[in-house]
Amino acid sequence: MSEQREMKEASPGYRTVTIFVAGIAVIALVALVTVGVLQNKPLPQKYKYGIVMDAGSSHTALYIYQWPAEKDNNTGRVTQTDSCRVDGPGISSYASNPRGAGESLGDCMLKARQAVPSSRHGETPLYLGATAGMRLLNIENASASDAVFQAVEAALHSSPFSFRGARILSGQEEGAFGWVTVNYLDDRLTQGQETTGALDLGGASTQISFVSARFDGTESPHNLMTFRLYGNDYNLYTHSYLCYGKDQALRKMLALQTASGPTSLSDPCFHPGYIRTRDYSELYASPCVARSKPQASPRNFTLKGTGDFDSCRTAVKKIFDFSKCNFSRCSFNGVFQPELQGSFGAFSAYYFVLDFLNLTDTSAPMETIKDKLREYCATPWADMQRQHPSTKVKYLAEYCFSGTYILTLLTEGYNFTADTFKEITIIRKIKGSDAGWTLGYMLNLTNMIPAEAPDAPPAAPRRLRVHHGAHGPAAGGPSPLHHLHPQQDSVLQPAQDRMS
């Protein structure tokens, strides 16, 4: 009986299998045709992109950022995927040839077109922010600065990206966005953790930014930036010192030594045996020193190095004014600075210089750091050139000054002590992204940091709220940043940076 039953059941079963196999074959055929048709269409892109150009005083750099396309609800991480260094000097050096400023960006724009998938070009925001070089040019010659911006904007408008404007950042923005970048990359903002201060050293200006429990802006309102990020309020102290980037600081030191218009100068901040002819009109061609130009001077002077670290420190110290302070406490030049708090990340020229000098270990005793600099500065120039044949001569000649300047700025200027100096980490990148103001700038302008934590009720607008002034984080109203219409504001007055 069981055998018979098996026979009866086998027959319809066989038919079922045949129908099933035929069905699969049809589905496979349809799938094959579909894939064939779709092959000519672009696959959906996994990432979205944003581009920021950093038009610094010494050079321009382009940064490309990416984030997961499906995570538009501010939870996807933004990372730097590529960068490009523009050949030649910063855009402020093109005052007498503005078109050259636009043309100089060509190679990096081409690189960006290749790095960003073409299907994303049109929606990819592109920003250009200029810092202290353009602040100085704007002071010196506003129409030249306008012309440079026009040329740069024309070049960027002709790119396939969504160009959202070129403008000069205020010193506070430069400092604050550097702080946002560092803390965003370190994942300190989402958790409401203790934040890290940010130290940025450029060629023409320098910034210090940190959260201080003792600072609510009452004493010095223009040093306060308030943020509400992921549901947490921050009172950020920030100050930008125009003319205290390392190139302008060097000018200031040389200006103090050539006030009487000598034909020759022995300078302790250059290596023994270093000798160079310097042009007076070139040295004094900057608003940072123009006022102290000697009344009568020869055309040029001979700069001779003596390589003496201790005398160099004395000479460097003279560019800081410690004589006046109308606040409870000051850094230098009468600028308010609350007591230092927490850890710091120091980047850009802090990194370039201290990395070259093998002095990035801030836990080393201060005396060891000084001894190393003393020995370094005393090394004859001929030996230096022999030991570093591939280093740019301009950089090589200035590392003794730069190292001494950094040490003086941090300890005497900002009041880092032997103890708190250890709290500084010298950084270039965090998790593959460069430390600097550009990422924080883009995160703000593209609304990518929410004011409230993602799981909190949507009480506040999503935008990163940046207030500036003494009103405190709870004060309503749009931030000054929201008033900016980049096209119109391509030349902002550098009202914030103080000339000393």
Known binding-site residue numbers for ATP: 203-207
Q: Is 430 helix (H, G, I), strand (E, B) or coil?
A: strand
Return the number of the residue (249 or 335) whose C-beta is nearest ligand CTP.
249
Give the separation between CA 147 and CA 486, rounded to whole angstroms. Answer: 16
* 89 is a site residue for Ca ion (CB under 5 A): no
Q: Which structure tokens are listed for 474?
A: 């709870």
Q: Which structure tokens are listed for 70?
A: 């499906």
**CB contact set of 409 (below 8 Å; sequence gap of 6+):** 201, 206, 244, 249
Q: Which structure tokens are listed for 89?
A: 């000097």
Task: Report the partner that residue 90 touches, choosing among Ca ion, ligand CTP, none (CB closer than 5 to 8 A by kind).
Answer: ligand CTP
Instruction: Decide if 178 contacts 346 (C-beta within 8 A).
Output: no
Return the number of the residue (90 or 272) whose C-beta is nearest Ca ion.
90
Return the number of the residue (86 or 236) whose C-beta is nearest ligand CTP.
86
Q: Which structure tokens are listed for 416?
A: 């880092």
CB of 348 to ligand CTP, least distance (A): 3
* 59 is a site residue for ligand CTP (CB under 6 A): yes
Single residue of 247, 434, 452, 497 touching ligand CTP by CB under 6 A:
247
CB of 461 to ligand CTP, least distance (A): 31
Residue type at 255 in one-letter notation: A
Binding piece for ligand CTP, criterion CB under 6 A, among 131-139, 159-167, 209-217, 373-381: 131-139
Give the separation between CA 500 and CA 288, rounded to whole angstroms. Answer: 8
Residue ranges in 166-205 that form contacts with Ca ion under rule CB under 5 A: 202
Instruction: Decide if 230 contacts 190 (C-beta within 8 A).
Output: yes
Instruction: Decide if 221 contacts 472 (C-beta within 8 A).
Output: no
Binding piece for ligand CTP, criterion CB under 6 A, among 141-149, 243-251, 372-380, 473-481: 243-251
Beta bridge partner(s), residue 199: 208, 346
* 56 is a site residue for ligand CTP (CB under 6 A): yes
Only one residue has tokens 């129409």, namely 143
Per the annotation, binding residues are 203-207
* 90 is a site residue for ligand CTP (CB under 6 A): yes
Task: Report the partner that residue 133 touches, choosing among ligand CTP, Ca ion, none (CB closer than 5 to 8 A by kind).
Answer: ligand CTP
Buried b (16+ CB within 10 A) or exposed e, 444-455: bbbebbbbbeee
Task: Report the partner that residue 360 touches, choosing among ligand CTP, Ca ion, none (CB closer than 5 to 8 A by kind).
Answer: none
Instruction: Decide if 353 contacts 343 (C-beta within 8 A).
Output: no
Task: Give the up-direction half-sphere exposure of residue 184: CA atoms within 13 A in the CB hemisphere.
Answer: 32
CB atoms near residue 25 (< 10 Å): 10
Residues 388-417: x where in contact with ligand CTP by CB under 6 A, - otherwise, as a string: -------x----------------------
Return the number of the residue (57 or 360) whose C-beta is nearest ligand CTP.
57
Only one residue has tokens 């730069």, namely 402
Return the number of the residue (51 or 229) whose C-beta is nearest ligand CTP.
51
Return the number of the residue (245 or 305) whose C-beta is nearest ligand CTP.
245
Measured N-to-C along each axis, helices 349-356 and 393-408 cross at an angle, to the nearest 10 degrees, of 110
CB atoms near residue 141 (< 10 Å): 15
Single residue of 48, 52, 56, 268 touching Ca ion by CB under 5 A:
56
Q: How far apart are the first and last CA of the chain?
A: 109
* 252 is a site residue for ligand CTP (CB under 6 A): no
Residues 334-363: x where in contact with ligand CTP by CB under 6 A, - otherwise, as a string: --------------xx--xx----------
Whether residue 174 lies in the annotated active site: yes
Return the number of the residue (58 or 257) whose C-beta is nearest Ca ion.
58
Q: In what order do the strands lie in the sheet with 125-130?
A: 79-85, 60-68, 47-55, 125-130, 162-168
Give the separation between CA 224 and CA 211, rounded to whole angstroms. Answer: 10
* 465 is a site residue for ligand CTP (CB under 6 A): no
- Measured in whole angstroms, how far is the alpha carbon of residue 206 from the centre of its chain? 11
Backbone φ, ψ for residue 259 (5° rounding): -60, -30
Single residue of 138, 145, 183, 205 touching ligand CTP by CB under 6 A:
205
Q: Which structure tokens are listed for 277?
A: 């002819």
Residues 202-241: x where in contact with Ca ion by CB under 5 A, - otherwise, as a string: x---------------------------------------
Backbone φ, ψ for residue 429 (5° rounding): -125, 155
Binding piece for ligand CTP, criterion CB under 6 A, among 114-122, 202-210, 220-228, 376-384: 202-210
Is residue 474 left, alpha or beta, with left meaning phi > 0 and alpha meaning psi from -120 to 50?
alpha
CB of 485 to ligand CTP, least distance (A): 23
Residue type at 245 in one-letter notation: G
Binding piece for ligand CTP, criterion CB under 6 A, among 11-19, 94-102, 244-252, 292-300: 244-252
* 89 is a site residue for ligand CTP (CB under 6 A): no
Single residue of 132, 254, 346, 427 touching ligand CTP by CB under 6 A:
132
Q: Which of 9, 123, 140, 174 is catalytic?
A: 174
Single residue of 50, 129, 175, 245 touching ligand CTP by CB under 6 A:
245
Binding piece for ligand CTP, criterion CB under 6 A, among 188-196, 240-248, 315-323, 337-345: 240-248
Catalytic residue annotation: 174
Binding site for ligand CTP (CB under 6 A): 56-59, 90, 131-133, 202-205, 245-247, 348-349, 352-353, 395
Where along the sequence are the contacts to Ca ion (CB under 5 A)? 56, 202
